Chain A
Amino acid sequence: MIDAQLASFLQEGLGLQVGTRDAALRPSGGRAVALTVDPDGRHIVVYIPEVAIGRLLPDLESNGHAAVSIGRPMDDRACQIKGTVVDIRQAEDHERAVITTQFTSYLGQLEMIGIPRAVASCWTNWPARAVRLKVTAIFEQSPGPSAGHPIA
């Protein structure tokens, strides 16, 4: 269950990584560009650029397992959400503003740690797929010995 405080953190525009795996348990992973939390706090939607989805889609469709790592570059606060796929669809035009806002915020975070915006200027964030996940677990992932402890 994601409470309002955690939801606020997750949606502020952070580094987002989506991990999957194939039938042979070989992991795959790619960058997501935005994340929204459903009002019920039990589901999230992760937006993955269309150019990245090709690597992840076979895994997501075949076994449905996903891990989403969310990190704030400035202080390395991070958590990880485990989930299973509920549905995958094309992101719609009205969702583009959310993606742009969160992705821009993320680039600002990178700038704060000394990575010029120009480095990420060619990164693709649109068009995107919206992957809705049912949240099965949430773990602390800030660096240190407490990483891996359940937080919700």
Chain B
Amino acid sequence: MMVPLASLATCFQGLRPAQLYTCSSDGIPNAAYLSHVEYVDAEHVALSFQFFNKSRRNIAENPHALVNMVDPDTGQGWSLRLEYVRSETTGPLFERMALRIETIASYCNLKGVFKLRASDIYRVVDVARIPEESGSPTAGVSQMTTTLDPVFTMKALHDLSARINRADSLETLVDSILAGIEESFGFTQSMILLPTEQEGVLVTIASRGYPEKGVGAEQRYGEGMAGAVAESRAPIRISGLMRGMLYAMAMYKASLNPDPQRDARRVPVPGLANPDSQLGVPLIVRGELVGVLVIESETPYRFHEEDKANIELLGSYLAIAIQNMQWQERSAASAPDTLAPAPVDVAVPLAQAVGQARAAVSHQVTYYASDECILLDGDYLIRGLPAKILWRLLNIRDKTGRDEFTNRELRLDKSLNLPEWKDNLESRLLLLRRRLDEKCPEIRLAPRSRGRFALEVQCLLTLNEQL
């Protein structure tokens, strides 16, 4: 009886390059490295077809092939005897394989340079152990991670759920999610990105486990892990990302017609400098993308099948929790008791307030209206709607001395031009607050009550507007 293909799931992660053996019709064997073998079903695997190389020409002449691959958990080698069946250029399998290639390519700033031509599907005729690559159950990389048993996993999900239910604001919710993922599952590096008001752009709203918080870092759809997840609206797991990037860079260097204008340096990836495992999950409610959760690790094969299944399951729950919190905050901010702005003691001159501040600190805030971007002392602070809001608040404070505001008045402020439906104002304010905490702690958005906040300025400010 043949070893079940599904039992070799860990071999299909592409952690170590597989080998493909073929033979031409005139009897010359060929041995080649292969970046990835994809599990299709109990009887089939798929190999990526990216170039018209010798292996591909051989398969056109002679359908027999052999693939050797290694289980990264145990070191055991497995040999799959294959027969070519067909090639697919559309459909879920092709999309899945193409997405993996595109995600890796985007990390090298090489998106579009090479792409998947087809998914070649093979029937698996036989599966055999490779005797010279005998494994050890204690050898693998997974031994460096904590193995989760089902009972523990259920407890972890329960604990995380309880933690999320205790959150009373979007800010505490996103922090609770990331803290809970670390404490319950042991995943120490993670981030949540939300869609911005700009079409096709995500922004980092919370992160955990990185030296730099990266709040406010943007990622376009289709770029990097989060962007690829947002574009495809599908979960993506990549193990051996570094290996994949090396392979992509090798392909680029070998390209016959490289684009001299293209900069092949890696784009800075928000998060780990050298992530080797990444898992991205779209947070979707009733077809709407609410956000993207990205978890990463420097361990090559960190996210196992059960991890992927658990986080995917969790994703649906998190999406509902985030959307509910956004609605709840919006609803509360529009409640009658928050309609009127808080009493403002205009008798307190601004100069006096500043006098109480750390007068030794001063900042120059420059707003570029055409780019909707704010620079603080010449350095980038924030852009888009959060920038417009901050500029508006600073100007009101400068002109009137008022420093308490409500979400409702921002919604009614025509100069901000917020959409009537789904403006995501609360998440924009959270982003602005965190960005200020990180880059300019002398300016704070301090919550007063639901839907009400204060602009606390502990420094001297010079405001400039540029068109």
Complex CA gap A80/B143 in Å reads 35
Contact B31 A49 (CB under 8 A): no
A121 and B25 contact, CB distance less than 8 A = no
Q: Which residues of A contact B81 (CB under 8 A)?
A: 26
**Cα distance A7–B68 when bound, in Å?**
26
Assess the A148–B54 pair: CB atoms within 8 A.
Answer: yes
Nearest A-chain residue to B70, judged by Cβ: A119
Mark B65-78 against chain A: 1 for CB-CB distance below 8 A, else 0: 11010101011010
Query: What sequence of 0s and 1s flags, for each residue 233-268 of chain B, a beta carbon within 8 Å of any chain A beta carbon?
Result: 000000010110011011111111000000000000
B142 to chain A, nearest CB (A): 10
Whether B31 contacts A25 by the Cβ 8 Å rule is no
Q: Are A115 and B250 in contact, with the CB atoms below 8 A? A: no
Interface residues of A in 61-113 (CB under 8 A from B): 63, 65-69, 71, 73-78, 80, 82, 110, 113
In chain B, positions 125-151 with a C-beta closer than 8 Å to chain A are 130-136, 138-141, 143-144
- Taken together as a complex, chains A and B put the C-alpha atoms of A28 and B30 apart, in Å, by 10
Using Cβ atoms and an 8 Å threshold, which residues of chain A touch B16? Answer: 110, 115, 119
A27 contacts B65, CB within 8 Å? yes
> Is A115's CB under 8 angstroms from B27's CB?
no
Give the residues in chain B near A80, CB-CB below 8 Å.
Answer: 30-32
Give Cα A17–Cα B35 distance, bound, in whole angstroms.
15
Beta-carbon nearest neighbor of A30 in chain B: B132
Contacts of B23 in A (CB 8 A): 19, 21, 25-27
Most buried by A among B27, B31, B70: B31
* A76-B247 in contact (CB<8A): yes
**Interchain nearest-CB distance for B274 vs A (Å):** 9
Size of A's binding interface in residues, CB under 8 A: 55
Nearest Cβ on chain B to A111's Cβ, whole angstroms: 11
Question: What residues on B are CB-neighbors of A125 within 8 Å?
Answer: 132
Q: Are B242 and A113 in contact (CB under 8 A)?
A: yes
CB distance from B135 to the nearest CB of A (A): 6
Q: Decide if the interface of chain B is mainly helix, strand, loop or mixed.
A: mixed
B33 interface contact, C-beta 8 A: yes
Q: Is B2 an interface residue (CB 8 A)?
A: no
User: For A28, what are the chain B residues with a Cβ–Cβ distance below 8 Å?
Assistant: 21, 66
Contact with B along A109-152 (1 / 0, CB 8 A): 01001111011111111000000000000011111111110000
Q: Output the residue of A19, A114, A118 with the most chain B CB within 10 A.
A: A114
- Is the Cβ of A52 less than 8 Å from the Cβ of B131? yes
Nearest to B138 among chain A residues (CB) is: A118
Query: Contacts A26-B23, A67-B28 given: A49-B250 contact, CB under 8 Å?
Result: no
Whether A29 and B75, one on each chain, are in contact in the complex, defined by CB atoms closer than 8 angstroms, is no
B11 close to A (CB within 8 Å): no
Q: Does B53 contact A (CB under 8 A)?
A: yes
Given contacts A30-B130, A123-B134, contact A78 B31 (CB under 8 A): no
Chain B residue contacts of A147, Cβ below 8 A:
32, 51, 53-54, 254
B1-52: which residues lie under 8 A (CB-CB) from chain A? 15-17, 19, 21-23, 25, 27-33, 35, 51
Report the Cα distance A122→B73, complex, angstroms: 13
A-B pairs, top 8 by smallest CB distance, nearest first, are: A144-B254, A19-B31, A76-B250, A69-B31, A29-B21, A27-B21, A114-B300, A19-B29
Task: Report which B residues bind A (CB closer than 8 A).
Answer: 15-17, 19, 21-23, 25, 27-33, 35, 51, 53-54, 62, 64-66, 68, 70, 72, 74-75, 77, 79, 81, 114, 130-136, 138-141, 143-144, 240, 242-243, 246-247, 249-256, 276, 300
Interface contacts beyond A29-B66, A142-B250: sample of 9 additional A-B pairs, CB < 8 Å, sorted by A: A26-B64, A27-B30, A27-B64, A29-B21, A67-B28, A69-B31, A115-B141, A118-B143, A123-B77
